[in-house]
Amino acid sequence: MKVTYHGHSVVAVETNNHHILFDPFLTGNSLTDLKPEDAKADAILLTHGHNDHVGDTEQIAKQNNALVVAPNELAVYLGWKGLNVHPMHIGGSHQFDFGKVKLTQAFHGSAITDEENKTITYTGMPSGILLTVEGKTIFHAGDTALFSDMKLIGELNHIDLAFLPIGDNFTMGPEDAKLAAEWLRAKQVVPVHYNTFPVIEQDPEAFADSLPGGVGKVMAVGETIEL
């Protein structure tokens, strides 16, 4: 399968039969190389409801007739907008035709913010996502602080590729993400959620170099790796 990084926390997975898209924040993302009208998706997986993760989900889902898999309250909210949704919750898993999805906990917030109308709509608990497809497991941590149960996630799953936020301020910083990588025991670890805004500017190469065993991998925007 092919895994492509599109900036911030946007990750695309192309299998033999499906296109899967994580957290498609494209409009307003100065670092992405992907336009919403060009995005392919049979399934969109959302970690939580913040605008810089839900992003262009509505447009992409409608133009592709994609299934949106998200934590329960966020899925219900998007279902009311006419999207085809599958609600899940932390600890639960489901086998889809494109692969198996399991939600893990994440320590963060989750809400849709409407700045024009000055409203905040709560969208349930944030999550991380374990995607198992074609014999490989990808862990997208979403936005999260470091938490000790990452050890358990690493013990229970053979993770081939992990995407971890390193931006600090809103999520883990590099030092905590380094410990998360150690606990998760993933074969490859890619930093995400950095440099999109001034407050989360980080050096991804320094983070990757800090990980033992050469597991750290900085993906350039638009870069693809094969699993």
Q: What residue ranges define each of the domains in the chain, with the CATH number in brackets?
A: 2-219 (3.60.15.10)
pLDDT score recorded for residue 53:
98
Average pLDDT over residues 158-177: 98
Tell me the angle at which helices 57-64 and 72-79 cross, rounded to the nearest 10 degrees: 60
Residues 109 and 113: their CA atoms lie apart, in Å, by 12
CA distance 112 to 126: 12
How many helices and strands (H and E) does the chain possess? 6, 15
For the question of whether the overall pTM of this predicted structure is more than 0.75, the answer is: yes
Query: Which tens digits make up the pLDDT trace of 39-67?
Result: 999 999 999 999 999 999 999 999 999 99
pLDDT at 168: 98
What tens digit of pLDDT does each residue of 89-137 get?
A: 999 999 999 999 999 999 999 999 999 999 999 999 999 999 999 999 9
Q: What is the pLDDT of residue 47?
A: 98
Task: Identify the pLDDT of residue 14.
Answer: 98
